[in-house]
Amino acid sequence: MRADTSVLESGIPAIDISSENDLAPQQLLDAAIKYGFVFIENNAAGIAPAEIERTFELSKRFFALPRQIKQEFSIQSNAVGTNHGWISQGAESLDPSRQKRPDVKEAFNMGNPMEGKFLQKMPENFQMHEETIAGFQRACHELCQRIFEHIAVALGLDRTWFSSRHEFGKTGSSSVFRLLFYPGVEALEPGVDVRAGAHSDYGSITLLFQQRGQPGLEIQTQEGQWASVPAEPCSSDGDHRSALLPILVNIGDLLEDWTGGLLKSTVHRVAFGAEIADRYSMAYFCDPLDDVELVPVPSNLVSDHMKKTGKTTRRDGKTLTAKDHLHMKLAEALKQQPA
């Protein structure tokens, strides 16, 4: 059992969520309330580093393909309304109302597999390694479930309260696995170009995998300043660099709203210049099943917080489902796009 959590540059603690640490539920909840971000030590309760490495390798091979091949899998080539496929450089601005130029990055989004098979059109490289990618998504989802169980316990709920609302591999879930590539470029204009514009994530929780020597993520503090998030933070039991990189977890807008604003969905961005060559990251956005109704999470901590702040989970007098919530967020983002 460990009583202390170490403090990082941005103040985000690193937590051991294995059964060794009885304090994990409370530590996770405290970090979710204070920062909306937390590092999870990648020990037995995490994801095998070899699995993470293999998936990064597949991602690198995909982004290295010629443009015309990637184009065949572009997000625009999918049915309208789906969020799956390749996003080319220049196609996305995460902070459209403030950005002069689009994000300097590429991405590839995929939905959850059903019975081990992907429903979307996949490049050959991914088809050949379907098991690796499907297995990695399952491992991510299982890690999210462990985190949900800890948060449920800390909120005084039944252990499975959240996890049962986030089942894996069911049709009707918006969970997305996203590969990201930020190519090294010399000619970025400081103050104009950004790698990923300021945004908060839409869903319940996000897992973020970074690589050594490739920092760039920043979170916005309550005072509105940008604080850097290291790619290689210190471990929770001292100030040494951990042998295995921890996994970063953040709270999304849906979970913030579902808890009446108790858990924080913190604005973040990716910003770096020519000092770093190519940067690769991978994000797993975990969402509830589409038809889950967002009635307030039945915890005294949540109801006390809602009484204090006057927040409600209803919109225009109506209870939203998880799917309605996502559509609301997408509609808000669309309104911010320059005409």
Ligand X SMILES: O=C(O)CCC(=O)C(=O)O
**Exposed (0-12), middle (13-18) or buried (19+): which is 124, by Cβ within 10 Å?**
exposed
Minimum gap (Å) between residue 42 Cβ and ligand X:
16
- Name which of residues 176 to 195 contact ligand X (CB under 6 A): 178, 180
Nearer to Fe ion by Cβ, of 31 and 306: the residue is 31
Does residue 16 belong to the site contacting ligand X (CB under 6 A)?
A: no
Contact indicator for 234, 285 with CB cutoff of 8 Å: no
With a CB cutoff of 8 Å and minimum separation 6, the contacts of 321 are 290, 291, 292, 293, 294
**Which among 262, 242, 240 is positioned nearest to 251, based on CA atoms?**
262
Among Fe ion, ligand X, none, what does residue 129 contact (CB within 5–8 Å per kind)?
none
Q: Distance between CA 244 and CA 239 in Å, rounded?
A: 14
- Name which of residues 162 to 201 contact Fe ion (CB under 5 A): 201
Minimum gap (Å) between residue 109 Cβ and ligand X:
9
Among ligand X, Fe ion, none, what does residue 166 contact (CB within 5–8 Å per kind)?
none
Does residue 196 belong to the site contacting ligand X (CB under 6 A)?
A: yes
Nearer to ligand X by Cβ, of 129 and 178: the residue is 178
Minimum gap (Å) between residue 196 Cβ and ligand X:
5
Q: Is 246 helix (H, G, I), strand (E, B) or coil?
A: coil
- DSSP for residue 242: P
Q: Distance between CA 314 and CA 301 in Å, rounded?
A: 18
Q: Give the bridge partners for 281, in sequence order.
A: 180
Site mask, ligand X, residues 264-283, x = CB under 6 A?
A: ----x-x----------x-x
Nearer to ligand X by Cβ, of 208 and 320: the residue is 208
**DSSP H or E stretch at residue 269:** strand 268-270
Nearer to Fe ion by Cβ, of 251 and 301: the residue is 251
| H-type alpha helices, the chain | 24-34, 49-63, 67-71, 124-128, 130-154, 253-258, 300-309, 322-336
Among ligand X, Fe ion, none, what does residue 281 contact (CB within 5–8 Å per kind)?
ligand X
Nearer to Fe ion by Cβ, of 41 and 201: the residue is 201
Does residue 103 belong to the site contacting Fe ion (CB under 5 A)?
A: no
- Name which of residues 238 to 267 contact ligand X (CB under 6 A): none
- Name which of residues 196 to 255 contact Fe ion (CB under 5 A): 201
Among ligand X, Fe ion, none, what does residue 262 contact (CB within 5–8 Å per kind)?
none
Nearest residue relative to ligand X (C-beta): 281
Does residue 217 belong to the site contacting ligand X (CB under 6 A)?
A: yes
Gap between the terminal Cα atoms of the chain: 55
Site mask, ligand X, residues 279-318, x = CB under 6 A?
A: --x-x-----------------------------------
Minimum gap (Å) between residue 154 Cβ and ligand X:
25
Residue 322, both tokens: 């998880």
Among ligand X, Fe ion, none, what does residue 180 contact (CB within 5–8 Å per kind)?
ligand X
Long-range contacts of 305-308 (CB under 8 A, 24+ apart): 305/259, 305/260, 305/261, 305/262, 306/260, 306/261
Nearer to Fe ion by Cβ, of 87 and 302: the residue is 87
With a CB cutoff of 8 Å and minimum separation 6, the contacts of 46 are 40, 143, 244, 247
Q: Which residues bind Fe ion (CB under 5 A)?
A: 201
Contact residues toward ligand X (CB under 6 A) are 178, 180, 196, 201, 208, 217, 268, 270, 281, 283
